[in-house]
Structure 1
């Protein structure tokens, strides 16, 4: 009961003080009530102009300097319509104890008189679209695409290499966030532009590691026929390819459809067990040549198919028929270094050379086993690995092939 009486008396005294202050304020310039803060600055008993002047001095509009590799880009406040809402915060402070509700005003003043502080946040604003446009402009000056190293091997075995270059990419979202935090925290300092380095998929070391032939194979053909022309066309499109570690080579992907519009001609192909003229006849000799080079290079065979009949240009179990959309030749690079597939076509022969790192050279030979069953010839193809003394290390079955007997 005693505490309640004391509280009522205290409130009554505060009300009298408040009414007295109101009368006094009517006779002089309005001021901010005591214990009202904007941010951490005490604005007690300050006029509107005094409050604005103090805030402008405490929170000046400063340039934002963005730096990267010795170069500086300056964002002026006017460039992005950046300002602190000083006038708005001051008005809120002035009106905090001057609401339209008299009882609410007394309640607020009571708390302030009892040394309960009231804090007002100083908001900021800027044009985000203008800032984004400036960041885009800066990014255009810094960003660059990475450049892969290049490798070309001429027919005579000459290597031509060009080094790789790293790329640069400004992290725009991160930069915008850092600028926003500077403004929000009212602590304008220099910023280092966040730039990510982008690495080439084929670097200079990769290209330098390709220095030796891992395996090669040749087959002969009649150079002066439409079939020979198709071999030239397919040989060009399926070679000069770099295969990265664990990457899979697809013959069909390399050549694309073997159609007339791509320079192929009609030549004999096997359709339904019979020889007929078709677009791209002869391309299987190219895939077969590449296949045998891949076998001798120790590459992992992923997909291979044999012809209906044993081919005239290679022994049974060593052929690789292809039909776009149906049969493909695929193999994987199992090494930790890239390989380079080179086809050389001319003078009635096609040769495939598969280049790689000398550390990946294997001693390999291919053997086949024939079995005759009724109208079929079954040929098993094995790859044999040898050590430096030509002793067998291991042997693996690559394929089991079934041919019709002619």
Structure 2
């Protein structure tokens, strides 16, 4: 029985080959789509063999007509109609391709294809989904405008009198564009359109309400005096303001030069005496080292991690030896790190010929310590070692650290 069926199928194929070969050159390709699609041809795994073009199109459209996409978030719903993004599965092209598969310009190719189809080698055509990317992006941008909310960092402001004012932080919301587009792309590609829950990202503030609320006391402060009615005094006001009201988060670094920027006329600085190469000359920004020194001592007393500090060529008149912090924009800087678990806040108060720098923070971070210096002489130099001594609850010394070793020239 099996041999009979095999022989019968072989006979049919042979007969088909003979007929097709005999008619080669006698027929022209039929492109009016009036006939039937050849057997064993599929579109998206749906058998459209032996059907007319309009019949095949009707069957495919019943399952694969583009549908509306609904994007939902809370009580909001956005609709994307197929026409909004020019979504098309190109069913007409697929059906015509199915019809024309055995009606190509090459008769021999047609014979080969028909033979394959006759012996149950089906041919499947995938629908090609196309859409307008620009129009889709424009719709998503509209959704973004309605949903996205900027993150709000908590803020803190401390007045000269020490009054603390804070504003709370708020989380930000933004549409996860990559995730949304990927879902839409996958749905279009798989031709399975369904509702989408709008993917969003919650943007956490880096400065939270808890951070600013933790600042409740002065960790350390230091003051120096100056001539209020001078160019140097004017520079101290400018530098004091630019390095004040700065919040430094845990593990972050404070850079004096970064806070002030270049000490130029355009930034409000005047010409005053500065030390260059061991000599006093007129230069822009004279006086800024007194501000850096004042801040340095407040940081030193607060127990902050001193990362970079330099002394002047000669001892300063406004602070003890070993306690100064020379700065020069682009060359040497004052840097310290917030080594506490809570943020700190720098507040400078410049008034009536005095500058006071206060470091605010959490009361639990306050250290009991004192600063000591050891002075010695080396030919024409004064050597000063600056130490920070930390104390326990009963004022017993816990540890001692060398902060800096300073070398000053002796004036002759």
Residue 222 of structure 1 and its aligned partner are, at CA, apart by: 2.5
Q: Superposition pairs for residues 233-248 of structure 1, below 5 Å?
A: 233-248=238-253
Between Structure 1 and Structure 2, how many residues are aligned?
401
TM-score for the superposition, normalised by structure 1? 0.91
- Compared CA separation, residues 293 and 56, structure 1 to 2 (3 A): same
The counterpart of 1:209, out of the listed 214, 228, 237, is: 214
For residue 402 of structure 2, give the secondary structure of its aligned residue in structure 1: strand
SS in 2 for 1:231: helix
Any idea what SS the aligned residue of 1:84 has? coil
After TM superposition, what 4+ stretches of structure 1 lie above 4 angstroms from structure 2?
Answer: 5-8, 13-19
Equivalent in the alignment of 2:166: 161
Shift of 1:17: 8.7
1:94 matched to 2:99: yes
Unaligned stretches of 5+ residues in structure 2:
none
TM-score w.r.t. the length of structure 2 is 0.90
Contact 1:213 1:353 in 2 (8 A): yes
Q: 1:371 aligns with which of 371, 376, 381?
A: 376
Q: Distance in 1 between matches of 2:103 and 2:269?
A: 90
After TM superposition, list the pairs within 5 Å mapping 1:92-171 onto structure 2: 92-171=97-176
* Aligned residues: CA RMSD: 2.6
| Correspondence 1:260-339 to 2 at 5 A | 260-339=265-344
> How far apart are 1:253 and its partner, in Å?
1.2
Whether the aligned pair in 1 keeps the contact of 2:13 and 2:118 (CA below 8 Å) is no
- 1:272 and 1:98 mapped to 2: Cα distance? 93
Moved more, 235-244 or 99-108: 99-108
Does residue 11 (structure 1) correspond to residue 7 (structure 2)? The answer is no
Asked if the contact 1:18/1:109 (under 8 Å) is kept, the reply is no
CA distance in 1, matches of 2:245, 2:170: 21
Q: In structure 1, list runs of 5 or more residues that go unmatched.
A: none
The 8 Å contact of residues 223 and 357 in structure 2, kept in 1 or not, is answered as yes
In structure 1, C-alpha distance between the alignment counterparts of 2:19 and 2:48, rounded to whole Å: 20
Distance 1:313 1:204, change over 3 A: same
2:36 to 31, 36, 40: 31
Q: Which moved more, 1:286-295 or 1:309-318?
A: 309-318
Is contact 2:304-2:337 (8 Å) kept? yes
- 2:34·2:53 contact (CA, 8 Å) conserved in 1? no
1:350 is matched with 355
Match of 1:69 in 2: 74
In the alignment, what sits opposite 1:183?
188
